[in-house]
Amino acid sequence: MTEIAHTPNLKPPAAGTDDSANRRRALIGGIVGYFVDQFDIYLPVIVLAPAMSFFVPKNLNAGTAAIIAAFVFTATLIGRPIGAAIFGVIADRTGRRKATIIAIAGIAVTTLVIGLLPGYASVGLWGIGLLILLRLVDGVFLGGEYTAAIPLAMEWTPKRRRGLASGLITMTSPGALCLISALTLLLLQIFPAGAADSPYAVWGWRIPFFLGAGLAVAFLVYFVRQVPESQAWENAEPGAKRVSPLRQLFTGTNRRSLLQVFVLMTGIWIALNISASVLPGLTSKVAGLTPTQLTVALIIASAASAVTYPVAGLLSQRIGRRPFYIGVGLLVAVVGAGATALLAAATAPGFGLAVLLLSVAFVVGILAFGPIAAYMTERFPAALRSTGYGIGYSLALVIPAFYAYYLVGLGDLFSPTYASAILMAIGGLLITVGALLGPETRDVDMGAAASASQH
């Protein structure tokens, strides 16, 4: 990939020749790259759900099938922290741009191969085994993409605009969820699903994977041609680049920063898991929604959430990141958990009320992601920014990943009805505590390019 990046017709614009154009290209790279990343993350959760019969035996019991489906998603979660560590070091030692190019190429290849996989009828359990393995590998590349591309975009962005830029980047996450939900709904209307030999199960699910691979290739071409290396990384002390970023991250003040963002991100991921994984099923159960109605409800909630991300980024720029996260944590603990509790306790609510409660809980539950790209990159110096951002962002996935077990325990201690609301409240409180433990970062100078355009 390095040779491709330096061929004459693919040479990127030189840093410093036109800072405004370079900032725009880097921001577009961050936005599109994060969209490709999030599109790929949601693929197995939504697209493969109606097609799992293609990969497992017909007589498999429902519990085992559910565990296998969970492994497909969990494999991606496991891969992301590994990718963050690997590509964080690459990005801090050899450059954000190189790390991004490798990661996106990896996403394109693995996503394409997944779309070509045979099913149980052809190769038995090798099909589902390969799917899980490829999702693990894909998770490594996904962790590498945002670990490199987002710090690059933030380092090119003037600090007065970092909140908005972060919101524009992260809004692509609910945007990707909305698009995939709509695409799956359309495909299910055209291609019937159900049995292992149904049109959707045999090849309909492959279409979104081919689309995801195509998006990754298109982004790769754009990034190679248009996006320059970060000046903040290029201007970092050469001696600092020779020291292992991982070693620096786990010593001194950097270790304290990592522990602080770990607490904050643990709360954010807990709230996200309740919002994205628990609320849809809860809504369907209490309101008796059909799969089509639930998909429509998720599209509405996702679209509403996407709109709030730039607003959240702007608000954090005005009042400061620390006050923003203190307030958002309390909002999640009170409003998000409250809407979740009302939804869980509702008796046969109509479609409108169910969508309203789902949307409120969903929007509030994931609101913290609006300025997170800015905040997390502001917490670490340039020489280990990608490593710190990537590991701090991804390692905190581990504890929240076992949310299903926490829900069982909370249900035994309190009430199964309100377990999800209680866990949402715990996530909100962790966000607030994490913010209280950290400093204000809004005015951090992340590099020459940003500071030079500040005035």
Q: Find the DSSP H helices in 320-447.
A: 321-331, 337-345, 351-365, 372-378, 385-395, 403-413, 419-437
Compute the distance between CA of residue 34 and CA of residue 103 in angstroms, rounded to an integer.
12
Please tell me the predicted confidence (pLDDT) of residue 13: 57
Please tell me the predicted confidence (pLDDT) of residue 141: 96
Please tell me the predicted confidence (pLDDT) of residue 237: 67
Please tell me the predicted confidence (pLDDT) of residue 325: 98
pLDDT, averaged across the chain? 89
- The pLDDT of residue 55 is above 80: yes
Cα dihedral 188/305/282/59 (nearest 10): 30
Residue 360, Cβ neighbours under 10 Å: how many?
19
Please tell me the predicted confidence (pLDDT) of residue 96: 94
- The pLDDT of residue 62 is above 90: no
CA 429 to chain centre: 21
84 to 77, 184, 232, 387, 389: CA distances (angstroms) = 11, 29, 20, 7, 8
197-211, 227-241, 292-306, 345-359: lowest mean pLDDT where? 227-241
Please tell me the predicted confidence (pLDDT) of residue 453: 36
CATH of domain 245-444: 1.20.1250.20
- The pLDDT of residue 1 is above 80: no
Residue 429, Cβ neighbours under 10 Å: how many?
17
Nearest to 297 by CA among 244, 353, 342, 252: 353
Q: Find the DSSP H helices in 227-290.
A: 231-234, 238-242, 245-249, 252-273, 279-287
Which residue type is seen at 36?
V
Give the list of residues 6+ apart from residue 92 with CB closer than 8 angstroms, or none: 233, 241, 245, 383, 384, 385, 386, 387
- The pLDDT of residue 9 is above 50: no
Please tell me the predicted confidence (pLDDT) of residue 195: 82
- CATH superfamily for 1-229 is MFS general substrate transporter like domains (1.20.1250.20)
pLDDT band at 53 (very low <50, low <70, confident <90, very high): confident
- The pLDDT of residue 63 is above 80: no
Six-digit token pair at 441?
């970062």
- Domain map (residue ranges) of the chain: 1-229, 245-444
Compute the distance between CA of residue 301 and CA of residue 355 in angstroms, rounded to an integer.
7
Please tell me the predicted confidence (pLDDT) of residue 6: 39
Handedness of CA 280, 196, 135, 29 (dihedral sign): negative
Higher pLDDT, 49 or 156: 156
Compute the distance between CA of residue 92 and CA of residue 102 in angstroms, rounded to an integer.
14
Local structure of residue 366 (DSSP, 8 states): T
**Using an 8 Å Cβ cutoff, are 434 and 260 in contact?**
yes
Burial class (CB in 10 A: 0-12, 13-18, 19+), 197: exposed
**Using an 8 Å Cβ cutoff, are 105 and 113 in contact?**
no
pLDDT in tens, 267-279: 999 999 999 889 9
Note every long-range contact of 194-200, with CB atoms under 8 Å and residues 24 or more positions apart, other chains counting.
Answer: 194/53, 195/53, 196/53, 196/54, 196/58, 196/119, 196/120, 196/121, 197/121, 198/53, 200/50, 200/51
Give me the percent of the chain exceeding a pLDDT of 70: 92
Residue 443, Cβ neighbours under 10 Å: how many?
12
Compute the distance between CA of residue 452 and CA of residue 448 in angstroms, rounded to an integer.
6
pLDDT in tens, 69-106: 778 878 888 899 999 999 999 999 999 999 999 999 99
Six-digit token pair at 404?
């299903």
Compute the distance between CA of residue 397 and CA of residue 402 in angstroms, rounded to an integer.
9
The CA-CA-CA angle for residues 342, 345, 351, to 5°, reads 70
Please tell me the predicted confidence (pLDDT) of residue 108: 97
Would you call 86 helix, strand, or coil by DSSP?
A: helix
